Structures are given as C-alpha cells and as structure tokens.
A and B are shown apart, each in its own frame.
Chain A
Amino acid sequence: MMKQVKIRKSDFHPVLRAFVYLMALVFTVLTLYPLLWLVISSLKTNTEFQINILGWPQNPTLNNYPTAWRLAKFDTLFLNSLFFTTVSTLVVIGLSLMAGFAFAKLRSKATPFLHGSFIMGILLTLQSIMVPLFLMSVTTGLYDTRLGVLIPYVGMGLPIGVYLCTEFIKSIPDSVVESARIDGASYFRIFASIVAPMAAPVAVTLAILNVSGVWNEFMLINILVSRDALRTLPVGIHKFSGALASDHGRQFAALTIGLVPMVVFYLLFRKQITKGVSAGAIKG
C-alpha cells in the first residue's frame, strides 16, 4: 500500500507553480526586508541615516539602544507588559475553567442563556465599546489604575476562554465526575483535583491566545490610562516614536527592542501558537 500518491509534476501547472513561488517569495521579502532595514537603520547615527537610507552603516553603532531604552523607560514598559499579561492570563484561565466546568458538567436551566451570552461576546468588536468603557472607568474611579485595565482585559479574554473550556470539559466523560461524586467528593474538589488538571491542554491554548492578545493590546490601555507609570510596551513605543519621529536611529532602536519578545515567543512556540489560532477561529 502506498503511503501517499505522488503528485505528478504535470498535475500542477508550471505557470501556477511559478505564481505560487512568486507570491510566497513576495510575502517573504515583504516580511524580512522591512525588518532587516529597521535593524540596519537602528545602527546608524541620525546624520548617517539622512545621507544613507538603504545601505549598511559605515560606522555601525549600538549607541541608539541604551539611549532609546532610557528615554522610552523600557524597564517600566516591560514590567507593566509582563504584569498585565501574566495576571490577566492566569485569571482568564481560572475563571474560564470554572465556568466551563459548570456549563459542561452541572445541570442548570440558566446554561443556554449564560453560555450563549459568552458566544455573542466572541463576535463583539471591542473597538465598538471603547467609549462606554472609558466613561465607565471614569465614573467608577477606575481610570488610571491597574485594576481598571485588568478587569477589561479579563472580560475581553473570557468569551473565547469560556467557549474553549466548555467544549474541552464536555469531552471528559461524565462517568469521571459521577464516580467521584459517589466517592463523596464535592464539586469544588472534583474541579480542583480532577477536571482542572485534565484540562491542561486547553489551558495552554488559552494562555497562548491571551498572551499574544494582551501583550500587543494598545487601544484600551491607551484610553484607560494616562500615567507614565502604567504604560505598556505598545503605548510607550507609540508615544516615544511619535515624540521623536525625526530622531530616526533611536526610534528604530526602540521599535527593534519592542519587536524582540514577540518574535522570540513566536519562534519558540510556533506549533502551539498556530494551534491556538486555529482553535480560536471558531464558527460564529
């Protein structure tokens, strides 16, 4: 038995093949060249950049990096990004698993309505509620506080989280829960020591989705926070590169610093990320 039928060359028209390679090549160049240009430009002084836009620098210098780091306060930005990403991801995973367990394994007439409301949330565009969220955060006094950013971040991660967790926990056989009940375990005990550990794969998917979502989030935090001390990487980089638009070398150094964490994260977790993305793309 053949493992896979060989595709004959004639099957795939040479013109089509050339077109596919061309497109793939175009996308590769479009991705790699600007990044390369960015890194090269970040090694130039401002004076050199103005006369030599494309070429390799005559006297490559790393001086832009420490200056950009200091001026844009990258240590604060990194710490804040780490804080918001970690806390919101942990909370989203916890709350989603809890609700998912209840929706999947506990009987209640409220489930279709409550679960359905989360599904609606997957389709809701966050951009369309930024003004009411801002007004609410001012009214409640949560404007410019860490909590005022964390709560929306958690709320924004919950729809997909609850959906994925419910689906996953449904696939755990009912008998697992029932036999533990017969042994006298409470629902919380069953959740904490049986269901939650079994749901580790979906927690990983959720972590990946949430980390990449929150780490790059810009719009909400830009609206809900004005203090320097609470800024995250995207906000800080945007403010910095806006203020120093003509200071090319430093601006490019700042952009490069901002690029590194996500690119490394992606190259390390490529498989999990692509799996998470396709799991997150559910039917509306």
Chain B
Amino acid sequence: MKRVIQWWTEERRAYLLLVLPAVAVYWAVMAFPTVFSFALSLTNYNGGPVFSNPNIKFVGFEHYLRMFRDQYFWISLKNNTLIILVSVFGQIPLGFLFAYVIHRKLVKFRGFFQTIIYLPCVISTIIVGRLWRSFFSPYGPFTEFMQKFQPGWENELFFDPKLAIVPVLFVILWMYTGTYMIIFLANLQKIDPALIEAARIDGATEWQVLTRIMLPSLSGVIVTASILAISGSLKSFDLLFAMTAGNPARRTSVLALYMYDTAFKHSPKYPLANAISVFMVMLSLVLILLVKLTEAKFGGRE
C-alpha cells in the first residue's frame, strides 16, 4: 500500500490528467484509423457492423493485388508524381528565388509582391478550384485570349485526356509557391546579417554570398521544404475535386481522389479504398525516408 501511494505522486496524477485528453482525441482520430484501415484492408469488410459480424473474412493481400491491376491506380499515381515534381522542382526553386530577392532587397515593391504571392494559399481551395475551372473553361477568359491570338482556337483543355492535367499543374505551381517563399524568407532572416556584411566587405560577390553562405545555411530548410512538398502533394484533393473532379474519364485523378471515388461513388468498395489508404501512408513514409537519406548522404551543415 505504501509503495502504491509513493508511485501515485501528485506529479504523475497531474501528468496523466494533462496529457490524457490530447492523447485520447489524437489517437482516436489519427493514429487508430491508420491501423484500423490496414486491418480492414486485409478483410472483405464492406459496410455494416464491424464487430461480431460473421460475414467478415480475412482475405490477405487480395485487395492490394486488385489495386495494382487497376489502371486508374496507375493514372492517379502518375498524376501524384507529376504534382510532386512540380512542387519540388517548381515551387521550391521559385519560392526560394522570391524569398532571396525580397530578403536581399533586390526588387522594389517587396511588401506588395510578398502579400500577393502568398495570397492564393489563404483562400479556400474549393473557391480557387471553381474559379480556375471557369477561367480555363470554353466560356472563360483563357479561351477568349487564345482566340484573340489564334482565331478559331478550340478549347479542349478539359476534354483532351492528355492535356487535362496541365492546367491543374499550372494552378498548383501558382498556388503554393508562396508557402515556400514564406518559409525561406523566415529562415533567411535567421542568418546573421553581420556574416553577410563581413563577406561583402571582404570583397565577396553577391553570387558568392548566395552560394557560400545562404544556400549552405538553408540546406536543412530545403530538406524540410521537400518533405512538405511531398506530403503536400499526396494531400492534393480539394483542388482537383473542385477543378476537374478527376475528369475527363478520370484522367486527372490523384490517389486521394481515386480512393474517394472507390469508397463513395457508385457501389462502395471499402476494402479496396482501405488498401489505397495504406498504400498512401506507406508511400509518404518511403518518400520522406528517401529525402532524409539524400540529406544524410550529401550532408548539409546546419
């Protein structure tokens, strides 16, 4: 009895009560579903009660095999890859460029540019998607402009399965470059200005300041930005949902949309949807690990 009392100190009690609400909510809606979805992906569960349901059978990796045979899975994966490429090789360099010229005061109207470039990120993605859908549609300004330059131009952006993803990629590039600009800007401000001043006084050119001082001290941030870009790209859902809904013929689908369609359109296929969700979690982990390994190999100093 004595030992129990000693163990159950006020500190332990306080710790438990302070931590419990956050842990309970977080584990219930974030951690548990991840595990739950893996468990369900190995069964034939397709609605109805989950517990003591005699019809639920263990089917192993059947749904994963089905997923890999589905052409829409590959189309979605390809589009996600394109979005990752646009993010890592488009948004990040452009975001850095803007942050650099704003930080080094190389352009005028800095406050204005900064405000405008970040603006798209604060607007609801649904509204952005609907707006650009109208913008690129046959009755939108884009068609009008093209027809001014090229009379008789037919707008097939939303009908041609090969072209349909291009406006989406374009909007994604425009939309999120501001986020990376803000992140780089905040970290550039952490570099000691005296360091740059000293280098300049010693005769370093602006190019040397950029490549020898700024980029090396930002290498960790670039890794963080890449991780954000990858996990952000796998999150693409709202924009596509509002802009194309995956069409034409599901050619602009992404994994999240593919999963949504599988689960909620026509007759529900929950097991397959769960397999897709597990695949997405794994893919995200693997990609993040790859970025980490690349960092370890080429080692930035920080």
- Residue B105 at the A interface, CB < 8 A? yes
A265-B22 contact given A34-B135, A186-B10, CB 8 Å threshold: no
Q: Let me know if A98 and B11 touch, CB within 8 A.
A: no
A218-B224 contact given A154-B25, A278-B183, CB 8 Å threshold: no
Name the distance in Å between B174's Cβ and chain A's nearest Cβ.
5
Name the distance in Å between A28's Cβ and chain B's nearest Cβ.
5
Within 8 A of B (CB), among A102-159: 102-103, 106-108, 110, 114, 117-118, 120-121, 123-136, 139, 151-152, 154-156, 158-159
Q: Looking across the interface, which residue of chain B has its beta carbon closest to that of A28?
A: B116
Report whether over half of chain B's contact residues are helix, strand or loop; otherwise say mixed: helix
A125-B238 contact given A107-B11, A262-B122, CB 8 Å threshold: no
Which one of B69-77, B81-89, B149-157, B280-288 contacts A?
Answer: B280-288
Q: Let me know if A17 and B116 touch, CB within 8 A.
A: no
- Residue B213 at the A interface, CB < 8 A? no
Q: Let me know if A258 and B284 touch, CB within 8 A.
A: no
The docked-state distance in angstroms from the alpha carbon of A274 to that of B182 is 6
A259-B127 contact given A114-B23, A152-B29, A156-B29, CB 8 Å threshold: yes
The docked-state distance in angstroms from the alpha carbon of A95 to that of B30 is 15
User: Which of B131, B186, B220 makes the CB contact (< 8 A) with A275?
Assistant: B186
A158-B259 contact given A24-B113, A121-B30, A132-B40, CB 8 Å threshold: no
- Residue A199 at the B interface, CB < 8 A? no
Tally B residues with Cβ within 8 Å of A: 104
The docked-state distance in angstroms from the alpha carbon of A58 to that of B292 is 58
Q: What chain B residues lie within 8 Å of A106 (beta carbons)?
A: 11, 14-15, 18
Report whether over half of chain A's contact residues are helix, strand or loop; otherwise say mixed: helix
User: Which of A37, A126, A133, A265 makes the CB contact (< 8 A) with B122?
Assistant: A265
Q: What chain B residues lie within 8 Å of A154 (beta carbons)?
A: 25, 29
- Residue A219 at the B interface, CB < 8 A? yes
The docked-state distance in angstroms from the alpha carbon of A5 to that of B206 is 11
A237-B124 contact given A31-B116, A102-B19, A125-B234, CB 8 Å threshold: yes
- Residue B78 at the A interface, CB < 8 A? no
- Residue A281 at the B interface, CB < 8 A? yes
The docked-state distance in angstroms from the alpha carbon of A17 to that of B107 is 8
Q: Looking across the interface, which residue of chain A has its beta carbon closest to that of B238?
A: A218
Name the distance in Å between A155's Cβ and chain B's nearest Cβ.
3
Tally A residues with Cβ within 8 Å of B: 100
- Residue A183 at the B interface, CB < 8 A? no
Q: List 18 A-B contacts (CB under 8 A).
A: A11-B207, A20-B106, A28-B112, A31-B174, A34-B131, A99-B18, A114-B19, A129-B277, A131-B259, A135-B36, A155-B28, A187-B18, A216-B126, A223-B260, A234-B127, A263-B123, A273-B122, A274-B186
What would 17 more interface pairs be, CB under 8 Å, given A125-B280, A155-B30? A2-B197, A4-B197, A31-B116, A53-B141, A117-B23, A125-B235, A128-B34, A162-B26, A186-B14, A234-B127, A238-B130, A258-B124, A263-B122, A265-B122, A281-B224, A283-B223, A283-B227
Task: Using CB atoms and an 8 Å cutoff, list the residues of chain B in contact with chain A.
Answer: 10-12, 14-15, 17-19, 21-23, 25-34, 36-37, 40, 49-50, 94, 97-98, 101, 104-107, 112-127, 130-132, 134-135, 139-141, 144, 174, 177, 179, 182-183, 185-187, 193, 197, 200-201, 205-207, 220, 223-225, 227-228, 231, 234-235, 237-238, 241-242, 256, 259-260, 263-264, 270, 273-274, 276-278, 280-281, 284-285, 288, 292
Closest 6 CB pairs of A and B: A278-B186, A155-B29, A187-B14, A132-B33, A128-B280, A99-B22
